[in-house]
Chains A and B, each alone.
Chain A
Amino acid sequence: MDSPNKLLIVDDNEDILSTFYEFFNSLGYEVKTARDGFAALKLLKNKSIFFDCLITDLVMPNISGVGLISIAKKEYPHLKIIAMTGYGGQPGALASEAKADFVFFKPVDLLKIENKVSELINQKNDKQ
């Protein structure tokens, strides 16, 4: 059996985190969550899990989503990254500049995000 795809979800809003966790978990993904960019970075650096996809909010304390995307794209080029933002165009544009694979604007549609996640992960697997 294939091992489940591994997701890291980052948001400073506890409700969003738990909703995403339940949703992706029920679809068979292995999900980890972090409440800010710094906590997420530590999970990425801890090599026990190799994540397939990172879904991150943008405006957060300490390391912002944009910061996290920049660092992650440099250090883990194979990681697919989806950004979500509720703060208008500015952070979204910065996320694209930091080479996020896709940017969603809040409120987000979980099904659409899941479609994007599986599309990105399949792209990645096709290339390998």
Chain B
Amino acid sequence: MTTTPLIGVSKSILKIKELIHHVANTCLNVLITGATGVGKEVVAQNLYAESARSTQNFVKINCAALPETLLESELYGYEKGAFTGAHKKRPGKFQTADKGVLFLDEIGDMPMALQSKMLHVLQSGEFSPLGSDQEYKTDVWVIAATNHNLEESMKQKMFREDLFYRLNIIKIDIPPLRKRKEDIPSLIEYYFRLYKSEYPDNQGTRPDSDILTKLCNYSWPGNVRQLQNCIKKQMILNSWEKIFEELTQEHPEIAPPILKENQQNGTQVYINQEFSNARTSIISEFVDLSTSSDKLFEDLSLKKIKKMASDKVEKEVIAFVLEKVGWNRSRASKILKISYKTLLYKMNEFKVLPPA
């Protein structure tokens, strides 16, 4: 496995690097948190690479990608005949990661039933494969990652408290890219060089200083992964202008939401706000969250919001279909399975107009 280096010059990235260096050989359970695309797996890889376990296996499993039963058999393995289709014995990830690292990605999406089984393994270092009554010993260094706010999940009884505290021995929180803009130029340079070396014939050029400033001021809701994709695109399109146009179209609310940073209360408050961002950004499309809660609750009616949300989607779908059929309204109404009259009415209501 090649380890992606942790790129950045911001205070938070430097601190994470230092922390990795100090804890890589402790084998204490680690919980890595941060929004989608910030680089949680990169941090896990770096922990592994700096540890004495780097000569052993780094085994990754995505707890959100598999249905419950499959996730269970992937983690613990099974004996021949454990279930229909188990034609031969298969080792689980806990076995293949023995003496190495087990990276549990998206741990926040692990079903409750499996959480208690996971807790048992973490407590005892023992597990038994499906269909087996034999307990196996395992020595794995568990590094877990999630983009959920597990404190919130615990309140909602979606995540076990005992499992949380057992994983949360070392906590590494990676801030979103818009909170560490100073990392953007070095990330661009790194991925630019990487993709250039992978595809030496491509035409992509580096951003000039104007474009770089724009890129640094963009909110990057998809974080480093989105930035990576942009640079890949640039290699093909070779037009930063076009890429920037796309970015602003995808996310017209280009100005990042400004969260009040409370220095005195430290980072914890800040982090919690970060986690609930996805939810608040959806809600804020329809109601003004910056008003006082009295005023806010007056405006907040589910019926009203339902109407606004469905209007918004309807408008997009109508515009999409009309564009596809070259603004042929009668065809569009047939595709949308509404009457011609209704379509005209809705076009008028939502101000969906053909291009001049």
Alpha-carbon separation in the docked complex, A64 to B170 (Å): 6
Q: For residue A87, which residues in chain B have a CB less than 8 angstroms away from its CB?
A: 165
A61 within 8 A of B: yes
We find that the number of chain A residues with CB closer than 8 angstroms to chain B is 18
Q: For residue A35, which residues in chain B have a CB less than 8 angstroms away from its CB?
A: 266
B-binding segment of A20-28, A65-73, A118-126: A65-73
Given that A12-B266, A41-B22 are known contacts, is A61 also in contact with B173, CB under 8 Å in the complex? yes
User: Contact partner of B170 among A63, A88, A90, A91, CB < 8 A?
Assistant: A63
Given that A12-B266, A67-B23, A71-B26 are known contacts, is A61 also in contact with B165, CB under 8 Å in the complex? no
13 contacts between A and B (CB under 8 A): A12-B268, A35-B266, A61-B173, A61-B266, A61-B267, A62-B15, A62-B19, A63-B169, A70-B169, A71-B26, A88-B161, A91-B165, A94-B169
B166 pairs with A71, CB closer than 8 A: no
User: Contact partner of B19 among A63, A64, A66, A90, CB < 8 A?
Assistant: A63
Alpha-carbon separation in the docked complex, A12 to B264 (Å): 11
Given that A12-B268, A38-B19, A61-B267 are known contacts, is A67 also in contact with B169, CB under 8 Å in the complex? yes
Say what secondary structure dominates the interface of chain B: helix
Q: For residue A88, which residues in chain B have a CB less than 8 angstroms away from its CB?
A: 161
Extra A-B contacts (16), CB below 8 Å, given A61-B266, A63-B19, A71-B26: A12-B266, A59-B168, A62-B15, A62-B19, A62-B170, A63-B22, A63-B169, A64-B171, A67-B170, A70-B28, A71-B28, A87-B165, A90-B164, A94-B165, A94-B166, A94-B169
Q: For residue B15, which residues in chain A have a CB less than 8 angstroms away from its CB?
A: 62
Alpha-carbon separation in the docked complex, A125 to B172 (Å): 38
B28, closest chain A residue (CB):
A67
- Closest chain-A Cβ to B218's Cβ sits at a distance in Å of 28
Alpha-carbon separation in the docked complex, A94 to B246 (Å): 50
